[in-house]
């Protein structure tokens, strides 16, 4: 096949690197590959030729109530290239890589108040139906690889059911049952002419608009590889040994809820920077997972930086250790980010301890809030620098063991929930963020259209 994955086998318990840039499947007879480094997903300024965009309803792009721009793409273009290639492998148009833009703003930790999770916004039960693993160690809805394959399979099924990508996209948004019922009542095959929810009639034009912008992207982000790694591998140890930034590796692999691969199974896929792929998969299968091995010239600060932890936490976990080369240090237990928690109507507040790889916007999305909300709760700016070990206040259902906290004092909190419009806000985004409909926001604010202005204060929900 044109973009067949190159599986490079080695003697390390079946470790492999997936290379999407070769045109044939080659196998290495047991030794690590030489240059060029394998596993590169796309090259600098690469663009994927579009042979299938005509199957999408591009005529609807100008009818979108949201205008997407390529210069405002919110995600990593390296990830975008990876998603394109996985979709192609699964036999669906790579243009579907634009879908996470409108579903999650390409934020892997996104969690909606309705319970949809990850870049493809998959519900828990849907995820289980699509064979995604969801347990205390892993939630594959947050996996760029597993979730993309699952979404591709589901979209392929929907396309087969309805015979068009327009209706498949509509069904992805509102459910196949709603589209089937609407199709039976009408001979029309256009979303615009079917009796579907207003959100769905807006969803397909938004996709077309986002796709047009997505195709104009200069995909120049860092190239990525997928390696096969053993169970029970601590990502922080792998990062330190392979010379990868710990926060970067953790962010690329947010499905591992404890910052390590699950303790069961034959192995797991890990996304790594392509420049470190060969070292990473070699280290992954030879690394002693009994802790960090002190090296010559190590300091507590340098070790903490390599592991992406606070120096104070590292010292607390190793109270009597000395930095003699070869000494094994215990890693602090990572905080479990509440990625499976939505705030909904819950008004409880709790403290969350920031861990490596966290961003203010990413943390906010895990509890169905905005970065502006989190900044307001903590009396900081949205551009504030956060660091591992710092405690911040969140609103929602706290994970087990979290420390409860009093609610911050906010004006008008006893009567309504409000939102101050910032650059980039849309009614659609606000409806998804707060779990209300666009129509409800318009009614509460006596709006007849969708235009917003920066600084405008919107009533989102009235507390009865």
Q: β-strands 292-293, 328-329: how paired?
A: antiparallel
CATH of domain 416-462: 3.10.350.10
Question: Residue 235 in contact with residue 246, Cβ under 8 Å?
Answer: yes
Q: Measuring CA to CA, how many Å separate 332 from each of 72, 237, 306, 316? A: 37, 12, 13, 8
Q: Is the pLDDT of residue 100 over 90?
A: yes
What percent of the chain has a predicted confidence (pLDDT) above 70? Answer: 72
165-181 pLDDT, tens digit per residue, is 999 999 998 888 888 88
pLDDT at position 235 over 80: yes
- Angle at CA of residue 43, ends 40 and 44, nearest 5°: 140
Average pLDDT over residues 221-241: 89
Q: What is the spatial distance between Cα 135 and Cα 158, in angstroms, rounded to a whole number?
A: 27
pLDDT at 174: 85
**pLDDT classification of 356: cutoffs 50, 70, 90:** low
Q: Check: pTM over 0.75? Answer yes or no.
A: no
Q: Is the pLDDT of residue 434 over 70?
A: no
Neighbours of 427 (CB within 10 A): 23
Q: What are the residue ranges spanned by the domains of the chain?
A: 6-41+223-329, 53-215, 349-405, 416-462
Identical fold between 349-405 and 416-462? yes
pLDDT at 40 over 70: no
pLDDT above 90 for 90: yes
Which residues are CB-neighbours of 236 under 8 A, at least 6 positions away? 246, 249, 250, 259, 307, 308, 309, 331, 334, 356
The fold of the 349-405 domain, in CATH, is: Membrane-bound Lytic Murein Transglycosylase D; Chain A (3.10.350)
Q: What are the helix and strand counts (H, E) for the chain?
A: 16, 11
Kindly state the tokens that stand for 379: 């009396």
Q: Indicate the CATH number for domain 53-215.
A: 1.10.530.10
């Amino acid at each position: 096949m044109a973009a067949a994955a190159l599986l490079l086998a080695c003697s390390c318990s079946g470790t492999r690197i997936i290379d999407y840039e070769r045109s044939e499947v080659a196998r290495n007879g047991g030794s690590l590959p030489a240059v060029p480094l394998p596993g590169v997903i796309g090259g600098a300024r690469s663009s994927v030729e579009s042979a299938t965009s005509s199957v999408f309803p591009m005529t609807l792009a100008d009818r979108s109530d949201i205008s997407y721009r390529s210069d405002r793409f919110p995600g990593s273009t390296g990830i975008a290239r990876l998603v394109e290639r996985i979709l192609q492998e699964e036999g669906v148009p790579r243009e579907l890589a634009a879908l996470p833009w409108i579903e999650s703003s390409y934020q892997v930790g996104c969690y909606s108040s309705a319970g949809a999770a990850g870049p493809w916004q998959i519900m828990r039960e849907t995820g289980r139906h699509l064979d995604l693993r969801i347990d205390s160690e892993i939630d594959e809805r947050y996996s760029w690889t597993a979730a993309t394959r699952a979404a591709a399979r589901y979209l392929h099924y929907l396309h087969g059911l309805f015979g068009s990508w327009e209706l498949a996209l509509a069904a992805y948004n509102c459910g196949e049952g709603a589209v089937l019922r609407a199709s039976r009542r009408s001979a029309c095959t256009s979303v615009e002419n079917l009796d579907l929810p207003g959100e769905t009639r807006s969803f397909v034009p938004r996709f077309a608009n986002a796709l047009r912008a997505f195709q104009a992207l200069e995909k120049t982000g860092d190239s990525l590889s997928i390696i096969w790694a053993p169970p029970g591998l601590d990502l922080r140890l792998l990062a330190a040994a392979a010379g990868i930034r710990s926060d970067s590796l953790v962010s690329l692999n947010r499905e591992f809820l404890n910052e390590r691969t699950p303790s069961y199974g034959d192995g797991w896929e890990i996304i790594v920077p392509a420049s470190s792929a060969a070292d990473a998969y070699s280290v992954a299968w030879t690394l002693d997972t009994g802790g960090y091995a002190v090296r010559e010239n190590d300091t507590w600060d340098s070790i903490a930086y390599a592991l992406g932890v606070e120096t104070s936490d590292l010292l607390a976990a190793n109270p009597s250790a000395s930095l003699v080369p070869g000494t094994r240090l215990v890693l602090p237990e990572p905080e479990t980010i509440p990625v499976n928690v939505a705030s909904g109507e819950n008004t409880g507040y709790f403290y969350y301890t920031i861990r490596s790889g966290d961003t203010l916007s990413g943390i906010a999305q895990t509890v169905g809030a905005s970065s502006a909300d989190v900044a307001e709760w903590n009396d900081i700016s949205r551009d504030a620098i956060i660091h591992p070990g710092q405690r911040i206040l969140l609103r929602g259902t706290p994970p087990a063991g979290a420390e409860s906290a009093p609610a911050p004092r906010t004006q008008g909190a006893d009567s309504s929930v409000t939102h101050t419009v910032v650059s980039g806000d849309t009614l659609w985004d606000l409806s998804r963020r707060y779990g209300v409909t666009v129509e409800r926001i318009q009614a509460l604010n006596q709006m007849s259209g969708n235009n917003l202005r920066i600084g405008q204060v919107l009533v989102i929900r009235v507390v009865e």
